Amino acid sequence: MTNPVAVIQSVRLDDEKDALILLDQTVLPNRKEYLELKELKDIWDAIYHLKVRGAPAIGIAAAYGVYLGTKQSVASTYEELLEDFKKAKEYLASSRPTAVNLFWALNRMEGRLHQEADKSVTEIKTALKEEAELIRAEDEKVCEAIGEYALSLLKPGMGLLTHCNAGTIATAKYGTALAPIYLGQVQGYDFTVFADETRPLLQGARLTAWELKEAGVDVTLICDNMASIVMKEGKVQAVLVGCDRVAANGDAANKIGTSGVAILAKHYNIPFYVCAPFSTVDLDCHTGADIHIELRPSEEITTKWYSESMAPEGVKTYNPAFDVTDHELITAIVTENGIAYPPFSDSLARLSKATKK
Ligand SMILES: CSC[C@@H](O)[C@@H](O)C(=O)COP(=O)(O)O
């Protein structure tokens, strides 16, 4: 058994080959294939088609992507290079709208570019590479810190439920919602974990159940509509989920279905924890109503997993990829800077000041 936390890097740069190396998350768990992407168009496609997915991993991929796009530029002045950088940045920013980490990472890369304005084009390119590597390395530390804080909320032997995949492959390492599970496993916490399959793209079944099983965690796969019964049967003592964007008031956008799980958790009096790095907190979004929810193609619901269509041809579909969990349903938001409790507008603002970068 190989522990994926120890060995898997879902996003990395191969600078010698001028390539972004991605673990293709669309073919897991049946195949472990790595993609070598050199063109911005291919990186955009990989983000859009969820070959790389999970808010922090998307941010890291975009940082490497905008570096590679700028590296290819033949610009000889800062101004020309900035123009090429901006084109690449704008293009990658159009790939997916909800996870703020994508925009956070691209803006951070632009900030570094501006800082290096008085340097040569070659030096600026090197600085962009450094910044992208830093974003990846920091995410690993951030996820470990989230894992430690979240673990302090849990007790050995607990039953946990998670939705979608906020694991090691969705980040640089450890994951967000799965980080305390991995850290707890090393310390003998013996958690039992229920993974919602997470329709329509099955991140829970294909990715979370796979990662946890590979790591030797006691994981049970359930369909999304079984969360209520396992809660009612007393099998779940805490819910842990990741997040794509947290608004200033604590409303949190995550994979479609998350808000339903939060409503169930409230009904059964089970704590509901959102685990997110500060790169996912968007204080410019006042409430969840300001968060842009991605709509995805019908085929993901009607045909994707079937040999023939499971819906009448031409039926209307509605396929929002995320929903917003109301802050009133959230027990705490666990960040790398500490645990935010309600009222979140105060606690998030206070903890955000501890962010170094
Ligand atoms: C640590 S990743 C947290 C979130 O990004 C995750 O829970 C999620 O909703 C991902 O959605 P996806 O559409 O698979 O990118």
State the distance from the centre of ligand 1 to the C-alpha of 256, rounded, in angstroms. 10
Atom of ligand 1 nearest to the CA of 167: 1
State the distance from the centre of ligand 1 to the C-alpha of 254, rounded, in angstroms. 6
Q: Check pLDDT > 80 for residue 4.
A: no
- pTM (2 decimals)? 0.97
Positions marked active-site:
244
Rounded CA-CA distance 258/347 in Å is 22
Q: Quick one: average pLDDT of 264-289?
A: 98
Domain with CATH 1.20.120.420 in the chain: 4-143
pLDDT in tens, 122-164: 999 999 999 999 999 999 999 999 999 999 999 999 999 999 9
Q: Binding site: residue ranges?
A: 53-55, 96, 203, 254-255
Q: Are the CB atoms for 204 and 221 separated by under 8 Å?
A: yes
pLDDT at 298 (0 to 100): 97
Q: What share of the chain has pLDDT > 70, as a percent? A: 98
Ligand 1 binding pocket, CB closer than 6 Å: 50, 53-56, 99, 164, 166, 170-171, 175-176, 203, 242-244, 254-255, 321
pLDDT at 355 (0 to 100): 72
pLDDT in tens, 238-250: 999 999 999 999 9
Q: Quick one: average pLDDT of 343-348?
A: 98
Question: 153-352 has which fold?
Answer: Rossmann fold (3.40.50)
The single-letter code of the amino acid at 70 is T
Banded model confidence at residue 2, pLDDT cuts 50, 70, 90: low
Q: What share of the chain has pLDDT > 90, as a percent? A: 96
pLDDT at 5 (0 to 100): 75
Rounded CA-CA distance 143/222 in Å is 26
Residue 207 CA from chain centroid, whole number: 12
Mean pLDDT of the chain, nearest integer: 97
Nearest CA to ligand 1 atom 10: 54
Q: Quick one: average pLDDT of 203-228?
A: 97
pLDDT in tens, 179-208: 999 999 999 999 999 999 999 999 999 999
pLDDT at 356 (0 to 100): 54
Q: Binding site for substrate: residue ranges?
A: 53-55, 96, 203, 254-255
Q: Check pLDDT > 60 for residue 19.
A: yes
Q: Check pLDDT > 80 for residue 169.
A: yes
Rounded CA-CA distance 257/9 in Å is 27
Q: Check pLDDT > 70 for residue 1.
A: no
Sequence-distant (6+) residues with CB within 8 A of 171 are 54, 56, 57, 139, 140, 143
Domain with CATH 3.40.50.10470 in the chain: 153-352
Q: Quick one: average pLDDT of 273-302?
A: 98
Q: Check pLDDT > 70 for residue 357.
A: no
Q: Check pLDDT > 70 for residue 59.
A: yes
Rounded CA-CA distance 21/36 in Å is 5
Which of 192, 188, 180, 242 has its CA nearest to residue 217? 192
CATH 3.40.50.300 matches 4-143: no
State the distance from the centre of ligand 1 to the C-alpha of 162, rounded, in angstroms. 12
Which of 242, 167, 163, 161 has its CA nearest to residue 198? 163
